[in-house]
């Protein structure tokens, strides 16, 4: 555990078992944060801790479905028992629906995405704000994973795109409502990080004009470092929105 000269800083990363969440946990741990990793698969979380060089003193794995209020409350209870405070929440957990026409999606498919991407971010932010208000020193930082889809959709992605646009509103509301309590909030919009979730882009993915094209991807560790940059800012500064993307992906302009 950090000494008094190196005060304890605690970060919670959702969806931390793989991909962007795991990369963010790695970057935070390397900078001296104690990290709570959460996701649905406990075995995967424990493997992630081993992979990033964590141990029982500086990392905690907690299985949690962030779309379930009771799971989120239990998660924050375990975090508080282990570390006593929270300084950074990275709301990263999310999922998409099948890439089919919107009129063919079921209500269940829609709600699965809403519960994971939007309700999960709200529930975790709510619990984090409660802890941040009550702890001493007061305050902390919440970082929401918005995605390039918070700006522009891909074909057949209505649930994912709608929730990511909603995350932008949630980010602004948290930043405003948290202001009196030294709670900062920012959003990181990520485009084509090289993870399991984006492997289809390397093979070729549908564009807005109906064509199939291979899209460039970037090293996921670059995203981890960007999250760390946001996380370690002093309380008087905040990155409200950051976009990090593969430089040559078809986003800016018309492709």
Within the chain, what is the greatest distance between any pair of CA atoms?
Answer: 58
CA distances from 131 to 18, 94, 251 (A): 26, 23, 38
CB atoms within 10 A of CB 202: 13
107 is catalytic: no
- How far out from the chain centre does Cα 228 lie? 12
What's the rounded Cα separation, in Å, for the pair 161 and 154? 8
41-45: long-range pairs with CB below 8 Å, 24+? 41/17, 44/17, 44/18, 45/16, 45/17
Residue 165, phi then psi, degrees to nearest 5: -65, -40
Q: What angle do CA 151, 158, 198 make, to 5 degrees?
A: 70
Which position among 37, 160, 164, 167 bears the catalytic label?
A: 160
Point out the residues that are catalytic: 160
């Amino acid at each position: 555990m950090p000494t008094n000269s190196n005060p304890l800083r605690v970060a919670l990363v959702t969806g931390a078992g793989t991909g962007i969440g795991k990369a963010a946990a790695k970057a935070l741990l390397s900078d001296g944060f104690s990290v709570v990793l959460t996701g649905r698969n406990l075995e995967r979380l424990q493997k992630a801790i081993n992979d990033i060089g964590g141990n029982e003193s500086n990392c905690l794995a907690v299985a949690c479905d962030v779309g379930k209020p009771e799971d989120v409350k239990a998660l924050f209870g375990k975090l508080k028992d282990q570390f006593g405070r929270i300084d950074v929440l990275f709301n990263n957990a999310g999922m998409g629906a099948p890439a089919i026409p919107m009129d063919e999606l079921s209500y269940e498919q829609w709600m699965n995405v809403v519960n994971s991407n939007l309700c999960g971010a709200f529930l975790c932010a709510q619990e984090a704000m409660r802890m941040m208000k009550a702890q001493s020193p007061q305050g902390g930082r919440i970082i929401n994973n918005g995605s390039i889809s918070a700006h522009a959709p891909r074909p057949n992605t209505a649930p994912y795109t709608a929730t990511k646009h909603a995350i932008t509103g949630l980010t602004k509301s948290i930043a405003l409502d948290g202001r009196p309590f030294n709670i900062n909030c920012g959003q990181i919009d990520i485009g084509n990080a090289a993870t399991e979730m984006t492997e289809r882009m390397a093979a070729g993915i549908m564009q807005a004009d109906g064509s199939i094209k291979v899209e460039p991807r970037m090293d996921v560790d670059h995203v981890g470092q960007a999250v760390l940059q946001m996380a370690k800012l002093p309380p008087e500064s905040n990155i409200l929105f950051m976009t990090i993307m593969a430089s040559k992906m078809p986003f800016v302009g018309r492709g």
